[in-house]
Amino acid sequence: MDDSIAPPDRRAAALSAALADRREDLIALTQDLIRIPTLNPPGENYHDICAYLERRLRASGFQTQMIRAHGTPGDCEAYPRWNVVARREGKRPGDCVHFTSHIDVVEVGSGWTVDPFGGLLRDGRIYGRGSCDMKGGLAASIIAAEAFIATFPEFAGAIEISGTADEESGGYGGVAYLAEQGFFSPQKVQHVIIPEPLQKDRVCLGHRGGWWAEIETFGEIAHGSMPFLGDCAVRHMGAVLNTFEEKLFPAMAARRTDMPVVPEGARSSTMNINAIHGGQPEQPPGSTALPSHCVPDSCRIVVDRRYLVEETLDGVRDEIIGLLEGLKRDRPRFDYAVRELNHVVPTMTDRDAPVARTVAAAIHDVMGKDAEFVASPGSYDQKHIDRIGKLKNCVAYGPGLLELAHKPDEYVGVDDMMDSAAVMARSLAALLLPETE
C-alpha cells in the first residue's frame, strides 16, 4: 500500500522511527560541518563545504548545482563565494519546500575552552563555532528531508536544500545572489524554512529593518594651544550626541511595534553607536611617540539604527538628518555629512501564511505545546527572499539558542536538533503528502 496516504498517526510513527535511526548520522554530519572552518571574513573553505554537501545530498537522490556568486562583495580567486542548491523531485506535481542555511561562521574570538573547529560531543551537546549558528540547523534539515524521503518516497512536489555564503556579512554572495538568479521565485518555490537558531518551539516570522551610516562633523585645524583659532570637530560631535540623548533616544524608546520581537527590549526602535573617532589617528600599540597638538578638523561616528515594520526607511533617515539640520541652524560653524553604508528593510510573514501555520502545528504535535510566534531583532536572509525573490511564505525555524550565537563555547544540543528535525519532517509531511482518504 501507499504509505503516503496512511492516517496521520501512522505517518508520525513512521517518521519518528526513521529519525530515531538517524541520530548518530545527525551527530556525525554536524561534526563534519563544524570541522570545515568557513570563517567569514574572509570567506574560507566555501568550496569545500559546498562540495561536501553536494556529495551528501547526491547520495540521497538530490540533483545539485554549485553556484559561484561572481563579482559579489569579497568574491575573488582566493575566497570565491560558492553556494550549493540541491533539489529532489517527488513522484507527482505539488509544492516545493526549500530549506536554506548559511554555511559561513563568524570569527572565533577569545574565551574558548574547547577547540572551536573540533566538533566535540560532550553531555549531549556538540561544540564549535557555527554549531548553533547554524550548522546544527542545516544538519537537522538534511536529516529531516532524508528521513521523510525514505519513509514516503511517493511524496508530491519537491524538496530543496541550499547551503549559502556570506549571511554573516549581509548575504549578498549567498541568498541575495540566488534570489537574483530566480532560485526563490514563487513559481519555483512555495515554502521557505530558514533553520536559524531561533529555538525549537518558536516560529520566527521576520525581522526588524536596519540603517547603517557614518556621520561626520567638520572643524578647522589649528594649534592645540590656541583652539580659538580653529574649530573643534569633536565638540561638534559632542553636540550631536547630546541631541541624540535628549531627543532621538527617548523618541525611539517610545515607539513600540506589533511585531512579536524577542527579547522584549527590541520591541522598540533602537540605535547603537558602533564607533567614534576624531582627530589624528591613534598611535599603533607599543608606540612611544607622543601626539602632536592639533584642533581636530574631523570627527566620525558609525550608527546602527534598527527600525520597526511600522516605520519607513525615509522616516528613519529624515529624523536623524532633521536633528543635524537643527544643529546647523542653531550652532555656530556646525557642519556635517552623512554617508549611508547599508540598509535592510524589515520583513514579516503573516502568522496565517501556510508555512507559518504548518510549522506551528508541527511544533504543537512534537513538543506538546503551542508554538510561540516571534520576530528577530537582527536581520537574516529572509529580507532577500522577500524583497528580491518576492516570496512571502517564509519563516525561520531551527534548533539552538540565539543567545549562544557568536559566543565562545558555542554549542547545539543533540536532543534539540532531533526535535527540530521531527518538526521539519512533519512539516514536509503536511505540505507534500496528500490528505488521508
Among 36, 81, 75, 79, which Cα is nearest to 55's?
36
Using CB under 5 A as the binding rule, whether residue 416 contacts Zn ion is answered as: no
Q: How far is the CB of 146 from Zn ion (least distance, A)?
A: 22
Given the rule CB under 5 A, which of 134-142, 171-179, 238-246, 257-265 is the region that contacts Zn ion? 134-142
Least distance (Å) from Zn ion to the CB of residue 135?
A: 10
Taking the complex as a whole, the smallest distance from the CB of residue 167 to Zn ion amounts, in Å, to 6
Binding mask 187-206 for Zn ion (x = CB under 5 A): ---------x----------
Nearer to Zn ion, 158 or 402 (CB): 402
- Tell me the three cell numbers of residue 106: 563568524
Q: Which residue is nearest to Zn ion (CB)?
A: 133
* Residue 417, Cβ density class (10 Å: 0-12 exposed, 13-18 middle, ≥19 buried): buried
Gyration radius from the chain CA atoms: 25
Of 24-32, 111-119, 125-133, 205-213, which part binds Zn ion (CB under 5 A)? 125-133
* Region of 77-85, 133-141, 318-326, 368-376 interacting with Zn ion (CB under 5 A): 133-141
Asked if 160 is part of the footprint of Zn ion (rule: CB under 5 A), the reply reads no
Asked whether the beta carbons of 139 and 145 are under 8 A apart, the reply is no
Binding piece for Zn ion, criterion CB under 5 A, among 32-40, 128-136, 183-191, 418-426: 128-136
39 vs 320, beta carbon nearer Zn ion? 39
Instruction: Report whether 330 contacts 390 (CB < 8 A).
Output: no
The correct pick among 14, 134, 252, 421 for binding Zn ion (CB under 5 A) is 134
* Cβ neighbours around 286 below 10 Å, total: 5
* CB-nearer residue toward Zn ion: 4 or 40: 40
Q: Which is nearer to Zn ion, 198 or 431 (CB)?
A: 198
- Shortest CB 364 distance to Zn ion, Å: 25
Distance of CA 26 to the CA centre of its chain: 22
Binding mask 338-367 for Zn ion (x = CB under 5 A): ------------------------------
Give residue 385's Cα distance to chain centre: 12
Quick one: 162 or 190, whose CB is closer to Zn ion? Answer: 162
Question: Distances in Å between the alpha carbon of 388 and those of 87, 180, 182, 252?
Answer: 21, 6, 9, 29
Is residue 133 close enough to count as binding Zn ion by CB under 5 A? yes
Question: Of the candidates 330, 326, 310, 329, which has an alpha carbon nearest to the alpha carbon of residue 318?
Answer: 326
Q: Which is nearer to Zn ion, 19 or 103 (CB)?
A: 103
Min dist CB 129 to Zn ion, Å, is: 12
Number of residues forming the site for Zn ion (CB under 5 A): 3
Q: Rounded to 10 degrees, what is the CA torsion of 141, 147, 152, 153?
A: 90
CB of 136 to Zn ion, least distance (A): 11
Q: Interface with Zn ion by CB under 5 A: which range of 15-23, 132-140, 148-156, 225-233?
A: 132-140
What's the per-residue H, E or C state across 90-120? CCEEEEEEEEEEECCECCCCCCCCCCCCCCC
Q: In degrees, to the nearest 5, what angle opens at C-alpha 257 toward C-alphas 256 and 258?
A: 135
DSSP secondary structure, 224-292, as one string? TT-GGGSB-HHHHHHHHHHHIIIIIHHHHHH-B-SS-BSSGGGGB-EEEEEEEEESSPPPPTT--PPP-
In the complex with Zn ion, which residue's Cβ is closer, 4 or 131? Answer: 131
Tell the smallest beta-carbon distance from residue 6 to Zn ion (Å).
36
Q: What residues make contact with Zn ion under the rule CB under 5 A?
A: 133-134, 196
